[in-house]
């Protein structure tokens, strides 16, 4: 998306986001090549320009490592442009859009770090006054940074802008912000990060009821910050101390790499009354709402869907490797590691990537003899030859199975006529602007959720990517009914890779995207265990509308409309005699 303004000395590259008070753009300083963020702000009134200048001077004396630095203040007609340091990890709001909730240790890192920064600001007489997940940024390693300190009240509100739901309900837009109001806002953000829900101003469900796995001390600290009476809340420094004492810190994990779905459990944005389930083999259920039948859902049913199956936890450092398996740390891995008894030869050492290296280490662990000149024993060559024969045999079986497309793997009946698999149209490598790239990542996450829902034939999981009872949800729910009617237990490998994406429009309550995607071949598994290989589909151009869930930072797909081309089902049951085959 191109900007409609220019700033001398800066080359504007793309839109980072639009929110309360203006737009933020990614730019490069021409003299140094350094990336910065340009925040274009509409001013409240004429006096706001002078107030902003004095505020920048005061902020320059507040040298806190977790407060975003304002490099420069530039006039732009009747607006202002703040030149800010660029924070690469995006906002907390964007992270919660992808992950739904954070682990308790991550919430402690978030809350305690922000509390330290705001406590330093309060000591200098500065109050944020507009704290929200969108004003907390994350560095590339997940370190929280406070942005927009004290600028919120200087910006002119837009006509379609809704009030910040994280503000202290005791304060009004006309009243002066207070340090106690910042405490409430930070506690409300912690509540959202733990439960996936924004606390209601007139009363909310306690943390331990919505997310019973949260440590009691952490739940108590958050509830203390949410006290309706301002004088009953701890001050910001005390609030940070309560968080620190409640639970050990854990690094905040950013979704910069795709998780391995075979290893990683599925998690999701926790809803207030949805049942708690854990992925098979993933151990105890993650932090989330209490268990209960879907029929018992209360007035928050618009959030819909079973929480633990909703989102995939992104990779990154974890607080306890024993309880959070399968996730890679942010640093590159040096390869898979051997698993063995503590103290066993080679246990925990990297496995070399070549077959020869693997067999060499295997021989060393089992006591393979070597001659004096270092030659391998004949036994090792026999192992190597046997491995080659196994690989050749497996390859032959896979090629044979693929060649019997549309036929049950376990049934030697005549092969049905096969249609030619459409050749995917290669898409050129295009550098996406940050806003488009984030929505591409979100759609890819939705595709993973959809694939899991069909792999388990679980219609409840469709609400983890679609608005319940929306046109998109109804269409996919009908596909699952057809699966049940045709004795299909599972659909495996359902994928629609995105070839191109374009943000048509962005509003506070609606994002309109236009994508080109193509369904890849997938496998049908019947209730009696037979498998059928189905062809992929043609390249389609689709318009997708994504909307936020009420009272949550999570977004869901409302509708998907194909643009041009022949209309074909998104899921076809390629069974002999099936109407959709």
* pLDDT tens sequence across 150-208: 887 788 776 666 788 999 998 876 788 999 999 999 999 999 999 999 998 888 999 99
Residue-wise pLDDT for 329-353, tens only, equals 333 333 333 333 333 333 333 333 3
385 backbone dihedrals φ, ψ, rounded to 5°: -65, -40
569 backbone dihedrals φ, ψ, rounded to 5°: -60, 145
Q: Where are the domains of the chain?
A: 10-85, 88-149+160-320, 355-367+376-403, 434-562
- In this predicted structure, the answer to whether residue 523 has a pLDDT above a threshold of 50 is yes
Residue scoring higher pLDDT (451 or 266): 451
Task: Give the pTM.
Answer: 0.51
* Residue 565: its H or E element: none
Query: What pLDDT was estimated at residue 41?
Result: 86
Angle at 266 between CA 253 and CA 260, to 5 degrees: 70
Question: Under a CB-based contact definition with an 8 Å cutoff, are residues 15 and 434 in contact?
Answer: yes
Overall CATH class of domain 434-562: alpha beta
Query: What pLDDT was estimated at residue 369?
Result: 38
Query: What pLDDT was estimated at residue 474?
Result: 92
Query: What pLDDT was estimated at residue 398?
Result: 55
Rg (CA), the chain: 27
Query: What pLDDT was estimated at residue 94?
Result: 87
Q: Rounded mean pLDDT of the chain? A: 74
Query: What pLDDT was estimated at residue 207?
Result: 95
Overall CATH class of domain 10-85: alpha beta
**17 closest CA partner among 115, 101, 87:** 87
Residue scoring higher pLDDT (357 or 114): 114
Residue scoring higher pLDDT (514 or 357): 514
Predicted confidence band at 317 (pLDDT cuts at 50, 70, 90)? Answer: very low
Topology of 88-149+160-320 in CATH? Transferase(Phosphotransferase); domain 1 (1.10.510)
Predicted confidence band at 36 (pLDDT cuts at 50, 70, 90)? Answer: very high
């Amino acid at each position: 998306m191109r900007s409609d303004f220019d700033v001398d000395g800066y080359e504007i590259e793309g839109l980072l986001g639009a929110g309360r008070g203006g737009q933020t753009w990614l730019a490069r300083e021409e003299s140094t090549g350094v990336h910065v963020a340009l925040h274009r702000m509409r001013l409240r009134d004429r006096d706001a320009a002078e107030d902003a200048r004095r505020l920048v001077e005061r902020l320059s004396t507040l040298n806190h490592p977790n407060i975003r630095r304002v490099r420069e203040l530039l006039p732009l007609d009747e607006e202002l442009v703040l030149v800010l340091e660029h924070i690469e990890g995006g906002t907390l709001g964007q992270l919660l859009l992808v992950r739904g909730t954070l682990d308790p240790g991550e919430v402690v890192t978030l809350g305690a770090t922000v509390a330290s920064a705001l406590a330093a600001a309060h000591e200098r007489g500065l109050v944020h006054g507009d704290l929200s997940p969108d004003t907390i940024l994350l560095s590339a390693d997940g370190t929280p940074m406070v942005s927009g300190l004290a600028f919120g009240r200087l910006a002119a509100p837009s006509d379609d802008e809704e009030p910040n739901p994280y503000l202290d309900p005791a304060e009004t837009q006309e009243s002066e912000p207070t340090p106690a109001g910042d405490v409430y806002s930070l506690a409300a953000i912690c509540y959202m990060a733990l439960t996936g829900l924004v606390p209601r101003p007139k009363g909310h469900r306690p943390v331990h009821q919505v997310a019973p796995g949260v440590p009691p001390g952490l739940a108590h600290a958050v509830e203390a910050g949410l006290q309706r009476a301002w004088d009953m809340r701890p001050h910001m420094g005390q609030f940070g101390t309560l968080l620190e004492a409640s639970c050990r810190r854990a690094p905040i994990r950013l979704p910069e790499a795709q998780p391995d779905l075979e290893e990683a459990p599925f998690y999701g944005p926790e809803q207030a009354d949805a049942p708690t389930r854990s992925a098979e083999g993933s151990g105890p259920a993650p932090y989330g709402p209490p268990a209960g039948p879907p029929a018992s859902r209360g007035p928050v049913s618009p959030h819909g869907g079973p929480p633990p199956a909703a989102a995939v936890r992104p990779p990154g450092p974890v607080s306890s490797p024993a309880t959070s398996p399968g996730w890679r740390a942010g640093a590159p891995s040096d390869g898979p590691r051997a698993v063995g008894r503590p103290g066993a030869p080679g246990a925990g050492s990297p496995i070399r990537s070549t077959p020869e290296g693997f067999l060499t280490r295997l021989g060393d662990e089992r006591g393979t003899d070597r001659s004096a000149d270092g030659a391998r024993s004949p036994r090792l060559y026999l192992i190597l030859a046997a491995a080659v024969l196994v690989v050749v045999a497996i390859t032959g079986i896979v090629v044979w199975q693929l060649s019997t497309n549309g036929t049950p793997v376990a049934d030697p009946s005549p092969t049905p006529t096969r249609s030619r698999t459409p050749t995917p149209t290669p898409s050129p490598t295009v550098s996406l602007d940050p806003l488009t790239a984030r929505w591409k990542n979100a759609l890819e996450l939705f595709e993973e959720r959809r694939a899991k829902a069909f792999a388990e034939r679980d219609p409840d999981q469709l609400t983890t990517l679609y608005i319940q009872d929306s046109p998109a949800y109804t269409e996919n729910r009908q596909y699952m009914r057809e699966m049940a009617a045709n004795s299909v237990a599972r659909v495996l490998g359902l994928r629609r890779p995105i070839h191109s994406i374009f943000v048509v429009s962005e509003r506070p309550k609606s994002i309109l995207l236009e994508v080109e995607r193509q369904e890849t071949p997938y496998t049908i598994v019947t209730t009696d265990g037979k498998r059928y290989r189905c062809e992929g589909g043609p390249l389609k151009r689709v318009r997708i509308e994504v909307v936020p869930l009420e009272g949550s930072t999570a977004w869901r797909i409302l509708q998907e409309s194909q643009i041009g081309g022949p209309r074909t089902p998104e899921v076809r049951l390629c069974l002999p005699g099936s109407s959709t085959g």
